[in-house]
Amino acid sequence: MALRTLHIGVGGRGVWPVKLFPKRDDLAVVGLCDIKADALEKAREATGLGEAACYTDWRRALDEVECDAVVVITPPQLHHEMCLAAVRAGKHVLVEKPFTMDLAEAVEVVRAAEASGVKLSVGQQARYARGNLAAVDLIRSGEVGRPQAAIMTRLSKRPGVHHSGEQRHSYAWERGVHDYDTAWSLFDAEPRRVSAVCFNPTWSPYAHGAGMYSVVEYEGGGVCTFTCSFMSHRSDNSMVVECEGGSISVDGSSATLIPADGGEPRVLDPGERVGAEEQVTNDFLAWLAGGPEPVNGMHNNLWILAMVEATGVASDEHRTVDLPAYLAEHLGG
């Protein structure tokens, strides 16, 4: 039986599920909600739904649409309220990153979901980039040993701000969630400590923290440094992962191994893979069908939010933050 979905936010990033879901037999789009008429009209065209299934008031949509799950792709400041209402109504949730803009709010949603017996996943798609998947496959094979150090560089120059224009530590919240999740997929070890400096160049239209320098230490001794900015005058989307058997260079859709013995560089092939959005969807549906919680499930994302929030604390207070202790404090443990 197809999972019936209500979509809150169908413009911008909300377009992908509206286009993908109708192509699948295991999903059925039954409701659409957006405050913009043009976004609703395009979503109607993509799904074939009539006007009766379209809403501009998300609360009314949640109350009236008979659905099994809610897809929330709205400005992040709205995620907490919308996700909390959905799980309390007994609906599963797939929400775009970041889960929420506050760790305590995310904990509240997770506890409400647990109480209602429903599940929530977060759209962390960056870890499914082809180059990253190729690097992960090589590391998991054991050929080069475990990662011991890495440098991630994410530099770009945006012409304007997105939803985080007024947000403190804006890069960390808007993009750092992806960066930390991607690095975690490579190290496959619990993050232990973070130190950071968030900064904002004089030419930045962001109110705060359009750049982030941070260092994350992982269980087992691995360490990753992050050099990231929305306000660089050059572009760089690369990562170098140092293992005993060589260095892995990851650049978007490609990855290359530089062997430690001086041998010829080897381009890594991730093989045939589905797209990132489809993989997130597959993982979500497999979990609902009784499988294990996926890496982008709600509990794992508490760790991601703890890392992001602790990055701001580390920068503001000029100290290194113990991540397990920070998360335990918010969980009441």
Q: Is the predicted pLDDT of residue 333 greater than 80, yes or no?
A: no
CA distance 316 to 209: 11
Q: What integer pLDDT is reported at residue 159 of this predicted model?
A: 81
Q: Is the predicted pLDDT of residue 12 greater than 80, yes or no?
A: yes
**Contact criterion met (CB below 8 Å) for 125 and 280:** yes
Question: Alpha helix locations (H) across 145-228?
Answer: 170-171, 177-187
Task: Find the mean pLDDT for residues 29-33.
Answer: 98
Query: Which three-class secondary structure state does DSSP give residue 197?
Result: strand
How many degrees, rounded to 5, is the angle at CA 294 between CA 279 and CA 301? Answer: 105
CA pseudo-torsion sign 226, 277, 310, 200: positive
Which pTM does this prediction carry? 0.95
Task: Find the mean pLDDT for residues 64-73.
Answer: 99
CA distance 66 to 69: 9
Q: Quick one: which of 30, 95, 22, 84 has its CA closest to 59?
A: 84
How far does Cα 136 stand from its chain's mean position? 17
- In tens, the pLDDT along 301-328 reads 999 999 999 999 999 999 999 999 999 9
Q: What integer pLDDT is reported at residue 284 of this predicted model?
A: 98
Higher pLDDT, 104 or 270: 104
CA distance 57 to 77: 17
| Burial class of residue 98, CB neighbours in 10 A (0-12, 13-18, 19+) | buried
- In tens, the pLDDT along 127-151 reads 999 999 999 999 999 999 999 999 9
Query: Which three-class secondary structure state does DSSP give residue 7?
Result: strand
Q: What integer pLDDT is reported at residue 165 of this predicted model?
A: 85
Please give the CATH superfamily to which domain 3-125+279-297 belongs: NAD(P)-binding Rossmann-like Domain (3.40.50.720)
CA distance 7 to 120: 14
Q: Is the predicted pLDDT of residue 246 greater than 70, yes or no?
A: yes
Q: What integer pLDDT is reported at residue 113 of this predicted model?
A: 99
Fold match, 3-125+279-297 / 136-271+303-327: no
Task: Find the mean pLDDT for residues 293-299.
Answer: 97
CB 130: neighbour CB atoms within 10 A? 19
**Contact criterion met (CB below 8 Å) for 46 and 21:** no
| Burial class of residue 91, CB neighbours in 10 A (0-12, 13-18, 19+) | buried
Q: What integer pLDDT is reported at residue 332 of this predicted model?
A: 84
Task: Find the mean pLDDT for residues 240-263.
Answer: 96
**Contact criterion met (CB below 8 Å) for 214 and 153:** no
Q: What integer pLDDT is reported at residue 6 of this predicted model?
A: 99
Q: What integer pLDDT is reported at residue 247 of this predicted model?
A: 98
- In tens, the pLDDT along 172-224 reads 999 999 999 999 999 999 999 999 999 999 999 999 999 999 999 999 999 99
Share the mean pLDDT of the chain.
96
Q: Is the predicted pLDDT of residue 158 greater than 90, yes or no?
A: no
What are the boundaries of each domain within the chain? 3-125+279-297, 136-271+303-327
Q: What integer pLDDT is reported at residue 163 of this predicted model?
A: 80
Please, which residues have CB within 8 angstroms of residue 198's CB and are 6 or more apart in sequence? 169, 171, 172, 208, 209, 211, 212, 213, 311, 312, 315
Q: Quick one: which of 275, 297, 300 has its CA closest to 128?
A: 275
Share of the chain above pLDDT 90, in %: 95
CATH of span 136-271+303-327: 3.30.360.10
